[in-house]
Amino acid sequence: MKDPIRVVVADDSALMRKLLCEVLNDDPEIEVVGRARNGRQALELVHALKPNVVILDINMPVIDGLDALGYIMSEIPTPCIIFSAFTADNKENVLRAMELGAIDIINKTQQTPSRNVQEFASQIVETIKQAAQNPVSKLKFVSPPKPAQVIKKITTVPLATFPVVVIASSSGGAAALANIIPHLNKNVPAAILVIQHMPETFTASFAKRLSVLSGIDVVEMSDNMPLEPSRVVVAKGGLHMRVAETKLKPRLVFDDSPPQNGVKPAADVTMISAAEYFKHKTIGVILTGMGRDGTVGAGAIKQNGGIVIAQNKDTSAVFGMPKSVIDEGLADTVLPLTSIAPEIERLILKIKNK
């Protein structure tokens, strides 16, 4: 029998620590080996116990969860899961945690603590099991390039000829996207669509953060938005992003249909609709993340003559989504994270010059 996954739980609420520990210890594959009421204790426990996974609240005394995460990732890299309440006050901190290398973010809702844990027990357990499978060598801060470092200028092309790039990402995706979007030239002659699995309260801030880091314009999607080259559009949390056919130009429209693969927005929805409209001018990119979202969409892209890129295992924080695409034989190329942006631009130019 294999050893259990050893977990340290850090939360300033004694009740929440107790409930979390009960949920985790109920699973025979998980063992809580340490409990911390602040970030300093969490850091000490991680050094002393060397757990497989750490659960961190953001709002803790002495050292908060964000600083503790930074110390852990720099001193003793360990898969970390943020378990915190999403509010306007800590929105930027949650995004920062994702950039620092947090494997996943789980929301404490405004319900009672017992209902919180009961509702999210299966999600917490599954996330811990996924996190424990990831080599710590992948878990490091991603420092995005400055806009001045983008590659040589590319001349824009008429709207009737531009291709579309659809990027799908989930767990670990915020850091991965910070290694791709800032590398794209601001005049890249393609529309870039990003589906990052995150709650609706964060997608606008996430788009703004990527825009600040990048030379190319990055915005959150709005309904009936024209699809244009040289712009990155981030899908709005809680709604699917669909490409709609019009006689003048393609547009992006909200789709409030049920979640697919347990997520909303789902990359499959965007990829299928994009492939139907842009045909061979569609490029799909599947990045780090749990689950299978993007696999059906990648199939649609291939059926319409498009190209699919998958992130490789060594650079994926969570290899679920890319692995699914690769296992189905849908990836034209499998690349490390740092090679994806140059390959996107190479393919765009190849499509343009056909």
| Residue ranges of domains in the chain | 5-138, 147-352
CA distance linking residue 271 with residue 269, whole number of Å: 6
CA distance linking residue 212 with residue 223, whole number of Å: 23
Catalytic residues: 170, 197, 293
147-352 belongs to which CATH class?
Answer: alpha beta
Identify the pLDDT of residue 8: 97
CA distance linking residue 167 with residue 347, whole number of Å: 14
Identify the pLDDT of residue 161: 58
How many Cβ atoms sit within 10 Å of the Cβ of residue 269? 25
Identify the pLDDT of residue 93: 77
Identify the pLDDT of residue 59: 86
Identify the pLDDT of residue 240: 96
CA distance linking residue 66 with residue 317, whole number of Å: 19
Nearest partner of 24 among 44, 8, 47, judged by Cα? 8
DSSP assignment of 59-105 equals S-SSS-HHHHHHHHHHHS---EEEEEE--TTTHHHHHHHHHHT-SEE
CB 244 within 8 A of CB 221: no
pTM beyond 0.85: the answer is: no
CA distance linking residue 144 with residue 284, whole number of Å: 22
How many Cβ atoms sit within 10 Å of the Cβ of residue 11? 28
Identify the pLDDT of residue 139: 52
pLDDT tens, residue order, the chain (354 aa): 689 999 999 999 998 899 889 989 999 999 999 999 999 899 999 999 999 999 999 889 988 888 888 888 877 889 999 888 766 666 677 778 887 778 888 877 644 455 555 666 777 888 898 888 866 655 544 444 444 333 333 333 333 358 999 999 988 888 899 899 999 999 999 999 999 988 787 888 889 889 988 989 999 999 999 999 999 999 999 999 999 976 667 899 999 999 898 889 999 999 999 999 999 999 999 999 888 999 999 999 999 999 999 999 999 888 889 999 999 999 999 999 999 999 999 999 999 877
Which letter, b or e, does each residue of 106-141 get, where b requires 16 or more Cβ atoms within 10 Å of its Cβ? ebbeeeeeeebbeebbeebbebbebbbebeeebbee
Nearest partner of 325 among 99, 197, 169, judged by Cα? 169
Q: Which CATH code of 3.40.50.1360, 3.40.50.2300, 3.20.20.70, 3.40.220.10 fits the domain covering 5-138?
A: 3.40.50.2300
Identify the pLDDT of residue 72: 86
